[in-house]
């Protein structure tokens, strides 16, 4: 899933899109995060109160100096007996510190609880939204993107966004309050020392911004490489039988190690960048604190700062330096989250399948007609060239052709898995162009058994009855019997409750095909497509399944795609495709005597091919 780096002029647009995407995901968790922010605000205010209590205790209660607090503070102290009384009863000020600590503890607890609830709600909504969106993306999109990379975006990238929102974004309010109030109290105590404290800050911020771009680039490279590694793992796990069958373990391991080592090297390089960044930033922050401590001592010796003010000032400066130090972490996490949101956005911004305006739920029991259909996949030459044929309702059409002749493409177009471009012909059912038939309605009325049957990691019963929740066990058994699967299922210890494993790995190729046929049969759709779905069964089972189809679907329109002539022998009509064009068309008997491609394949499969080959060879010698 390649992506272009965001150019400078598009950065503002990218940030706006990230914000809109994040706000969309935050629906349902905004109140929780709002409560978390309020709790964080109270926590920050408690941090601001403690230094003032210490200042009052040192300068006013113990030192006896004239207080310079606001009138409302002095009025409150007077109600307690004044600073002289507090100096004699310091336990009151200690109790005040304890009360502030309790309030801070409660607010901190609430902040974490609300924050975690909000974060988990956010993650749930993100995954639900992304899963739903991905399910409705065109089939063509899925064919162009690696499953492993999609999974990585729905897991690791989502988790990174959650961490940023939960740990960083909410902290922005607390940090902002700390910076504003710290500077306010510092300026109120000593303007000159405050300017000394803030002089290093612009240099620290400039340093942070310089490194941000480099870190963002590093995170993007690591994230994209992680997607490739995930895709490699997913591909090997799903194709383990092939890897083992061809003894390719060592070769696949070598490929994985190559990708994984590259992934590791990217993280090592990024870790070195981050180590330099955080070490230098920490050094600059500590240097700023040291400057304030030394300068504050000088101000105290010169009488420009009281001991209590000095203690409070150093405390506020620590609170000021904490957000500055935390800023580096925030920038780092922001870079990660920005990359992840960008990658998630590439999925969420993809347009989902949508019906054309005025789409209808047309009757699906009419004639199917392909009229001058031409089609090519993106980036490839034309697969179908001006193909036209008609399938009368309730009839059976057989399609024969070599690999790459366009047989499966015809059925994918019929089911709107790929959209037929305007000007490339029409496909109609009952005289209605499928472009204006609602996609869900169309697919619900077409049962397809694809060339490579896919079974879910569920029981045989669940796989067969997946099309509806109202199907009974009798319906499942009837469909399995029609697909000649019942005898195989009876041989399993758990019968229809047998767990088939990922992609039906515990079943044989023929059993998987028959399970997929049973799944299609149980839907009782008016149109049924079997795309070379009997290739893994023996001839006897093939005949049984075809007889069952005739008995069960006498009124349905059936399309049989096969390389086996016997499978097509009972079809009402057969078309032969050659390089994307219809080379022959007629009944099986007509084509068998026509002397064309169908007849040649028939002779080869019936055992006459060897004789023809021998005759051809002898004729060649005579010509010599």
Whether 291 and 439 share a structural domain: no
Q: Is the pLDDT assigned to residue 102 strictly greater than 90?
A: yes
Q: Is the pLDDT assigned to residue 534 strictly greater than 80?
A: no
pLDDT at 613: 43
581 inside domain: no
Beta-sheet pairing, 368-376 with 382-391: antiparallel
Q: Which two tokens stand for residue 489?
A: 């299922």
pLDDT at 586: 92
% of the chain residues with pLDDT over 90:
11
Highest mean pLDDT among 242-251, 334-343, 592-601: 592-601
Q: Is the pTM of this model over 0.75?
A: no
Q: Which two tokens stand for residue 227?
A: 């997607």
Whether 335 and 389 share a structural domain: no
The CATH number for 500's domain is 3.40.50.300
Distance in angstroms (rounded) separating the CA atoms of residues 113 and 111: 6
Whether 325 and 459 share a structural domain: no
Beta-sheet pairing, 432-433 with 446-449: unpaired
What does the pLDDT average to over 96-105? 90
213 vs 354, higher pLDDT:
354
Confidence grade of residue 106 (pLDDT, cut at 50, 70, 90): very high
Are 553 and 358 within 8 A, CB to CB?
A: no
375 phi and psi angles, rounded to 5 deg: -155, 145
pLDDT at 502: 63
Question: Whose CA is closest to 533, among 551, 522, 519, 553?
Answer: 519
Are 91 and 114 within 8 A, CB to CB?
A: no
Q: Is the pLDDT assigned to residue 31 strictly greater than 80?
A: yes
Whether 373 and 323 share a structural domain: no
100-109, 343-352, 439-448, 548-557: the lowest-pLDDT one: 548-557
398 inside domain: yes
Whether 137 and 263 share a structural domain: yes
**C-alpha angle 18-21-22 in degrees, rounded to nearest 5:** 85
Whether 241 and 136 share a structural domain: yes
Whether 176 and 228 share a structural domain: yes
Q: Is the pLDDT assigned to residue 204 strictly greater than 60?
A: yes
**CB neighbour list of residue 573: distance below 8 Å, 6 or more residues apart:** 391, 395, 396, 397, 398, 585, 586, 587
pLDDT at 5: 46
Q: Is the pLDDT assigned to residue 237 strictly greater than 80?
A: no
Indicate the residue among 564, 589, 614 that finishes a domain.
564
Q: Is the pLDDT assigned to residue 617 strictly greater than 90?
A: no
Are 223 and 339 within 8 A, CB to CB?
A: yes
Range of the domain at 263: 18-348
What does the buried/exposed string (b/e) look like for 582-613 if buried means 16 or more CB atoms within 10 Å of the residue's CB?
bebebebeebbeeeebbbebbbeeeeeeeeee
Q: Is the pLDDT assigned to residue 581 strictly greater than 50?
A: yes
For 84-94, what is each residue's pLDDT tens digit?
887 788 888 88
3-12, 48-57, 502-511, 609-618: the lowest-pLDDT one: 609-618
Indicate the residue among 509, 530, 564 that finishes a domain.
564
The CATH number for 222's domain is 1.20.1560.10
**C-alpha angle 211-214-220 in degrees, rounded to nearest 5:** 135
Report the domain count for the chain. 2
């Amino acid at each position: 899933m390649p992506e272009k780096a965001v150019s400078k002029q598009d950065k503002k647009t990218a940030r706006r899109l990230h914000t809109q995407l994040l706000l969309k995901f935050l629906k349902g968790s905004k109140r929780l995060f709002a409560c978390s922010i309020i709790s964080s605000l109270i926590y920050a205010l408690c941090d601001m109160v403690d230094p003032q209590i210490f200042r009052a205790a040192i300068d006013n209660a113990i030192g006896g100096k004239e207080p310079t607090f606001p009138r409302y503070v002095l009025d409150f102290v007077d109600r307690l007996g004044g600073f002289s009384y507090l100096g004699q009863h310091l336990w009151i000020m200690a109790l005040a510190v304890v009360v502030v600590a309790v309030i801070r503890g409660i607010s901190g607890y609430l902040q974490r609880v609300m924050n975690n609830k909000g974060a988990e709600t956010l993650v749930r909504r993100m995954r639900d939204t992304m899963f739903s969106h991905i399910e409705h993306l065109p089939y063509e999109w899925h064919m162009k993107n690696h499953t492993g990379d999609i999974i990585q975006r729905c897991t690791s990238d989502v988790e990174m966004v959650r961490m940023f929102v939960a740990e960083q974004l909410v902290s922005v309010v607390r940090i902002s309050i700390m910076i504003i109030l710290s500077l306010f109290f510092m300026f109120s105590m000593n303007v000159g020392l405050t300017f000394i404290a803030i002089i290093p800050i612009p240099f620290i911020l400039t340093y942070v911004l310089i490194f941000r771009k480099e870190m963002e680039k590093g995170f993007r490279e690591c994230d994209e490489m992680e997607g490739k590694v995930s895709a490699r793992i997913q591909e090997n796990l799903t194709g383990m039988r092939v890897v083992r069958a061809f003894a390719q373990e060592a070769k696949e391991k070598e490929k994985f190690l190559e990708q994984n080592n590259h992934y590791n090297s990217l993280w090592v390089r990024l870790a070195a960048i981050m180590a330099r960044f955080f070490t230098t930033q920490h050094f600059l922050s500590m240097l700023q604190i040291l400057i304030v401590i030394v300068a504050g001592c000088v101000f105290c010796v010169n009488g420009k700062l009281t001991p209590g003010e000095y203690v409070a000032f150093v405390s506020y400066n620590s609170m000021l330096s904490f957000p500055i130090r935390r800023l580096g972490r925030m920038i780092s996490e922001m870079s990660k989250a920005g990359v992840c949101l960008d990658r998630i956005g590439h999925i969420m911004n993809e347009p989902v399948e949508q019906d054309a305006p005025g789409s209808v739920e047309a009757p699906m029991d009419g004639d199917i007609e392909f009229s001058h259909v031409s089609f090519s996949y993106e980036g490839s030459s034309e697969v179908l060239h001006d193909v036209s044929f008609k399938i009368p309702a309730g009839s059976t059409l057989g399609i024969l052709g070599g690999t790459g002749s366009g047989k499966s493409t015809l059925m994918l177009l019929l089911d709107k898995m790929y959209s037929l471009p305007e000007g490339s012909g029409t496909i109609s059912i009952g005289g209605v162009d499928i472009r204006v038939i609602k996609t869900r309605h169309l697919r619900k009325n077409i049962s397809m058994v694809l060339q490579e049957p896919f079974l879910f990691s569920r029981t045989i019963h669940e796989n067969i009855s997946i099309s509806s929740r109202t199907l009974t066990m009798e319906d499942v058994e009837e469909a399995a019997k029609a697909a000649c699967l019942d005898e195989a299922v009876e041989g399993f210890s758990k019968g229809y409750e047998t767990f088939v494993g990922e992609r039906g790995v515990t079943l044989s190729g023929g059993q998987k095909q028959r399970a997929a046929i049973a799944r299609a049969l149980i839907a009782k759709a008016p149109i049924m497509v079997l795309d070379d779905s009997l290739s893994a069964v023996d001839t006897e089972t093939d005949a049984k399944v075809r007889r069952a189809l005739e008995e069960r679907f006498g009124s349905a329109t059936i399309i049989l795609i096969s390389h086996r002539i016997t499978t097509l022998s009972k079809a009402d009509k057969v078309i032969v495709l050659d390089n994307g064009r219809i080379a022959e068309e007629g009944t099986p008997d007509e084509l068998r005597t026509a002397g064309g491609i169908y007849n040649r394949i028939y002779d080869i499969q019936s055992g006459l091919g060897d004789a023809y080959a021998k005759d051809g060879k002898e004729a060649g010698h005579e010509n010599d």
